[in-house]
Structure 1
Amino acid sequence: MEKRRRGKFVLIFGVVLLLAFALWFYLMSGQHKTKPPPPAEPVAAVAVKLQDVPVYIDALGTVTPTRSVTVVSQVDGILSSVEFKEGQHVSKGQVIARIDDRSLKAQLAVAKGTLAHDQAVLSNNQRDLTRFRELIKVGSTSQQTLDTQASLVQQQQGTVAADQGNVQNLEVQLSYCTILSPIDGVVGLRLVDPGNYVTNGSTTGIAVITQMTPATVVFAVPEDDLGSINQALARGTVTVLAYDRNKHNLLATGNLLALDNQVDISTGTIKVKAQFDDSGNALFPNQFVNARLKADTLSQAPVVPTTAIQHGSKGDFLFVVNGDKASLRNIKTGPAQGDVTAILDNGVKSGEQVITEGGDKLDDGSTVKVVAQ
């Protein structure tokens, strides 16, 4: 009985050993098999091109009118009429409002009458002085009488001069009753209605007239860009573009007009003013715009589609097609223009194929197949 158990145990052990050997042989023989190469990734690639790329300094700006004038009355009186429509374009010297002038006209008439009376008195005194000068020659009058008459003439001349000044002052005051536009521009909303009493001390005014053209835009740029701007000014006219709030539509093209004379130490920026001569109605006073100042131009710089550029922890990179492999290339990006971006520091060369689609699945050295260009 014991011999049977021992024989059965040996048989089972042999079977197990045989199976273990077979499994070992299977595993060892599988290691010598060659794994099939991974399939090539389909990608789209575009050749690197050379082109001139402008270098812009972007900033948020505000449209400022060339001139803005608050029209106020220079005399006290009733506003009898308003000669403009709100939003109307007016020319310099155009009548825009009238003040009741009847009181001033009456005062002017009195002043002219006084002037005429005093002029007549002066004329009579001058004739008497002439007669006294003839009489003194023949001894028919005294020197004292002659001197008194000469002083009287001088006194009357002073009176006439004062009367003339009073007349001129009232004429000026009367002219202020007709309010003229001091500039060419657009009238805003009416601030005072006809029939109200207006004074020359009011700061509200009757209306505000704004000169719309040429328009100017004021924006602030970092002080680090000051050197680039000065270099651009030294080369000649500096172009400034004004875009809408979303940077989609170009509103106007102008030129750099002036730099402020000091840096704002609280923000580290300096104010810049640009002028737009032919903006039409595209730029409106106090409107916010995106200003782009053209500081330089990169001549014949290599450019790639912006979609080819990827961003990693070590910086920007892209993949270049090298035969059937993808070669990872670290790059330094420059300014963008439209759908392309300039590459600096010789990161890529003209004619090289850069991968624009499918690059997110690649590693350095991955097998690729270009299916679109």
Structure 2
Amino acid sequence: MSSEATNRPSQKLSRRGLRLTGIAVVTILVVTVVIGLIARATQAKSLKTWTQEQAVPTVAVVMPEPGKSGPVLDLPGQLQAYTRAPIYAQVSGYLKAWKTDIGTPVKAGELLGEISTPELDQQLQQTRADLASAKANADLAAVTAKRWQAMLVSDSVAQQDVDQRTADYTAKLAQMKAAQANVDRLEAAKAFARIVAPFDGVVTARDTDVGALINAGGGTGPELFVVSDIHKLRVYVQVPQRYGPSIRPGSSAVLTVPEYAGREFHAQVVALSNAVNATSGTTLVQLQVDNGGNQLMPGAYAHVRFDLPVDAAALRVPASSLIFDNAGLRVATLGTGGKVAFRKVSILFDYGKTVEIGSGLGADDRVIDSPPDGLKDGDAVKIATEDTMAKPHEKA
């Protein structure tokens, strides 16, 4: 009896322990499953939040800035002598001699060459002989008229005869003056046989030689010599119509030429054509540069740099902020509520890394730099902070 009573309580205890153990295991399993479900839900929510955050692009925003200095306009120019005179022959003949060659400095009136004029010399001799004959006839007519006037006092001759002798003297005197004028004309022409420099300068061309046949004529015949005054030079530049109003007489420019690399010459605007060439769309600007050392040569090519004035209304933005597509040239700005707003703009000047905007943008507009592809009007964006911008660098 005692052994059976002892076994019964132990069996009851073991069954109870097993039940408690089972309940504990089930509870643990349930808790584990619940924790797993909660963790998965939390992770899914976090992933959804992260995905939504990543769907909103992060952009860098810059503010338009006024220009601190004006644009630089670099244009090709042509150097010309301050004064250039092509020398043509005014009498025909043969070149007897030339006295100066190219590159020779000359003074005003200095002899450049001489023309032999045998035909003109013969004409001059003939006109001088005609003048002598006319003078003799005039002298004889004067004496005759004087005598007839003296005889008129004594009523020895008629008044009609005196008038005829006086008229003959007047005609002979006119013939003598005509002959004198003809001599003076040919002597003046003979003086042109001496070719002289019209002003102080340099002989920049000689297109004749001894024995060459010379034909008289202004711009029709060949140039015998060219004398140029190069103590100052004129510089001619074709300026685009857009920048014409920015360049006025008195404006300064910097001149560079290939033969003096790194050296600058200072020029000044002296005149403008005040007209636009319909073919090229440019206006002609004339500058003047000092050439006291005769280092610059007329006819040479030069680079002319204009430092244009600052446009107070113009704003500068990074060139990377520009968008050019089928909608035209635009920039993306950050509008109200962090939404994208596109603005159509026009460029005044391109500085490379930055551009000067002429219209379409205000000083208070926030411009998106390097806008991502696919950005549309009204899209929401986030502004990148310094920490955000540093993250890619830290990961790298």
**SS of residue matched to 1:366:** helix
1:184 to 189, 195, 200: 200
- Residue 149 of structure 2 is aligned to residue 136 of structure 1: no
Change in Cα spacing, 1:295 to 1:282, as seen in structure 2 (3 Å) is: farther
What runs of 5+ residues in structure 1 fail to find an aligned partner?
1-23, 32-50, 304-308, 316-332, 348-361
Which residue is 2:222 aligned to?
204
On the 8 A contact 1:78/1:197 being kept in 2, the answer is yes
Residue 275 of structure 1 corresponds to: 288
Query: What do the CA deviations read for 1:265-296 (whole angstroms, capped 9, x no partner)?
Result: 23222111111134643432222211123332
1:291 pairs with 2:315: no
Deviation at 1:167, TM superposition (A): 0.9
Judged with a 3 Å threshold, the aligned counterparts in structure 2 of structure 1 residues 227 and 298 are, in CA distance, closer, same or farther, namely closer
User: Alpha carbons of 1:141 and 1:225: their partners in 2 closer, same or farther (altered >3 Å)?
Assistant: same
The question of 1:62 aligning with 2:75 is answered no
The residue that corresponds to 2:276 in the other structure is: 263
Q: Of the two, which has the highest radius of gyration?
A: 2
2:109 is the counterpart of 1:96 = no
Residues 62 and 218 of structure 1 are in contact (CA less than 8 Å); yes or no, is this contact kept in structure 2?
yes
- Residue number in structure 2 paired with 1:117: 133
Distance 2:260 2:389 in 1: 39
Q: Deviations over 1:142-196 (max 9, x none)?
A: 1121111011111101210111011101211210111111233322343221012
State the one-letter code of the partner of 1:140: S
When normalised by structure 1's length, the TM-score is: 0.63
Q: Distance in 2 between matches of 1:67 and 1:168?
A: 31
Q: Using the aligned pairs only, state the percent identity.
A: 22
Query: Post-superposition shift, 1:67?
Result: 2.8
Does the Cα contact within 8 Å between 2:91 and 2:117 map onto a contact in 1? Answer: no
Following superposition, the deviation at residue 106 of structure 1 comes to 4.5
What TM-score comes out, normalization by structure 2 length? 0.60
**1:313/1:121 CA distance change after superposition, 3 Å:** closer
Alpha-carbon distance in structure 1 between the residues aligned to 2:259 and 2:84: 28
CA distance in 2, matches of 1:181, 1:227: 40
Pairwise CA distance, 1:55: 4.4
Does residue 225 of structure 1 match 2:228?
no
Indicate how the Cα distance of structure 1 residues 335 and 367 shifts in structure 2: closer, same or farther if over 3 A, else same. Answer: farther
Q: Which has the higher contact order (CA 8 A, sep 6+)?
A: 1
The answer for the alignment partner of 2:57 in structure 1 is none
Query: Is the contact between residue 95 and residue 180 of structure 1 (CA under 8 Å) also seen in structure 2?
Result: yes
Instruction: Render the CA deviation track for 1:226-263: whole Å, top value 9, x for unaligned.
Output: 3322xx55xxx211221225995344212111111311
- Report the CA distance shift for 1:133/1:342 in structure 2 as closer, same or farther (over 3 A): same
Q: What does the per-residue CA deviation read over 1:3-36, in whole Å, with 9 as the maximum and x for residues that have no partner?
A: xxxxxxxxxxxxxxxxxxxxx9xxx9xx9xxxxx
Cα distance in structure 1, aligned partners of 2:259 and 2:192: 47
Is this contact kept in 2: 1:191–1:205, CA < 8 A?
A: yes
- Residue 155, structure 1, aligned to residue 171, structure 2: yes
Q: Distance in 2 between matches of 1:279 and 1:341?
A: 40
Unaligned runs of 5+ in 2: 1-35, 44-66, 325-346, 365-385
User: How many equivalent pairs are there?
Assistant: 284
